[in-house]
Structure 1
């Protein structure tokens, strides 16, 4: 089959592009999660332990970040046929590709689920309990968690009237967790493409032989 060498080269080129794309997205995921640890770029909230549990979980750092970046490195190395991958057989290459894809899939999925839950629960901030009942008290917590009759994501009037500290807590929370959600969704799509590409590479390698 004369077209198999060309297809094999295309498969390797695709791996290089996918590896670079996944690596870049992993860096952006890590930066977005880092921003969540410093609301309004203020370190005092982190030092006082006043950061929400979803941001502290750091799924964008070790899930959509480190795990995906590690997988992206292996995918890129396979695309360039570098080091131990330069003479590896097709079965070994596709096995490594699937393991790398599985690692990236797990990391991206963890980041995606965590970001979705965080957006549903809402930000961790100081709010006035009297806004919801007659008790006058300020406390830190999740004011939108049990707000069943109103969805804070769509009711923007709640964004500036509920959270007293940090300022713009809702905007910060929604913005960066939305970024993490989109990045992890993109990573999942790239991983699926790499699954397909790795099997295509295996098929082309067998045809070439």
Structure 2
């Protein structure tokens, strides 16, 4: 991959990862394939880390990179002309980076605390005091929703991986791709 294609491919990967985050978060909202009331869902699911952070905020960056790298005739010629465009792009990079960090933090905390589930008719976070991730034999203690622990572990883990990749891509673009444009056009990002 040449350096001129870098913004385009980073944008495509970020769009793909943001869509993965949106789908993972939407599946977290329906454990066991059923809808539950908001007081029966984990707080970390309701914070919508995959929709807001890893999804929409990163999607804005990905679309901006693809649009700006497309440049009319070819997807390999960046079309940055003014310092205003550089500042705008820097804003989107920071927005995407903050969104991915938000998604990562909320997802890690959601994994650490565990899901909200019902035991003997009482809804609570029964796994937050234990090291439940290393004891999968305890995951079936929840009566409702059934298999909610494996459901949350799967999709929060997916959000952690996707948001980590989003952070890496955003940082690599900010340090590599954006500085390439700065050197090419002799502009300062202030």
Partner of 1:175: 154
Partner of 2:23: 31
Pairs within 5 Å for 1:109-124: 109-124=101-116
Pairs within 5 Å for 1:82-161: 82=72, 88-89=80-81, 91-128=83-120, 138-145=121-128, 147=129, 150-160=130-140
SS of alignment partner, residue 127 of structure 2: coil
CA distance in 2, matches of 1:104, 1:11: 21
Q: Is the 8 A contact 1:78 1:93 kept in 2?
A: no
User: Structure 1 residue 206: deviation in Å?
Assistant: 3.2
Paired residues in the alignment total 182
- Per-residue CA deviations over 1:11-39 (Å, capped at 9, x if unaligned) read 44111101110011000100000000001
- Per-residue CA deviations over 1:177-201 (Å, capped at 9, x if unaligned) read 0000100000000001110211112
SS of alignment partner, residue 186 of structure 2: helix
Q: Is the 8 A contact 1:32 1:180 kept in 2?
A: yes
Give unmatched runs, 5+ long, in structure 1. Answer: 1-8, 129-137
Pairs within 5 Å for 1:31-110: 31-43=23-35, 45-46=36-37, 49-82=39-72, 88-89=80-81, 91-110=83-102
Q: Is the 8 A contact 2:100 2:163 kept in 1?
A: yes
Q: Is the 8 A contact 2:110 2:156 kept in 1?
A: yes
Give unmatched runs, 5+ long, in structure 2. Answer: none
CA distance in 2, matches of 1:38, 1:182: 21
Q: Is the 8 A contact 1:11 1:198 kept in 2?
A: no
Q: 1:32 to 1:142 in 2, by over 3 A?
A: same
- Per-residue CA deviations over 1:129-175 (Å, capped at 9, x if unaligned) read xxxxxxxxx30010012x2xx41000112111x21111101100100
Q: TM-score, normalised by structure 1?
A: 0.80
User: Structure 1 residue 88: deviation in Å?
Assistant: 4.3
CA distance in 2, matches of 1:62, 1:39: 19
- Aligned Cα root-mean-square deviation (Å): 2.1
Q: TM-score, normalised by structure 2?
A: 0.88
Q: Is the 8 A contact 2:69 2:78 kept in 1?
A: no
User: Structure 1 residue 99: deviation in Å?
Assistant: 1.2
Partner of 1:206: 186
User: Structure 1 residue 119: deviation in Å?
Assistant: 0.5
